[in-house]
Amino acid sequence: MSLTETDNRVSMDLTIVLSETPAGPHHEFTLVVADGLVQERSRIPDPQAALAAVEQYGQGIFFPEPGPPRICTQQYGGPQRAVITGTLAGKAVRTELSLTDGCEIARWRALAPLLGGTPGSRGAV
């Protein structure tokens, strides 16, 4: 799914709140992109990698389409949680990520740069 319907120059303003455990500590990152360019007010360790991850997976990673039930491995990756809010290509975003099963772990790893980490990591924490 394309990030914009009119062209490939994505715009987004996302806030990511990442927590190691329900009690904290909490880390907050922002990614601000206008016309495909990372803006200076972005506060994330590698904003270019975060933008590339969002562009690679598109809106579907934030707005999954309904479909048949997925079969996910029943594995627990840890108590970390991330809440992502803001806008992506003019559409309101509010999604939560966790490490509660194989499907969620895959989603977390796909967006690891947006969580302050690198692909395959657990984010910045």
* Structural domain contains residue 22: yes
* Structural domain contains residue 122: no
* Count of domains observed in the chain: 1
Digit-coded pLDDT (tens) for 83-94: 999 999 999 999
What pTM was computed for the model? 0.82
Which has the higher per-residue pLDDT, 57 or 86? 86
Residue 115: which of 53, 71, 59, 57 has the closest Cα?
53
Q: What is the CATH number of the domain that holds 26?
A: 3.30.350
* Highest-confidence segment of 38-42, 59-63, 76-80: 38-42
Under DSSP, is residue 99 helix (H, G, I), strand (E, B) or coil?
Answer: strand
Question: What residue numbers bound the domain in which 53 lies?
Answer: 12-115
* Structural domain contains residue 99: yes
pLDDT at 24: 75
* Structural domain contains residue 42: yes
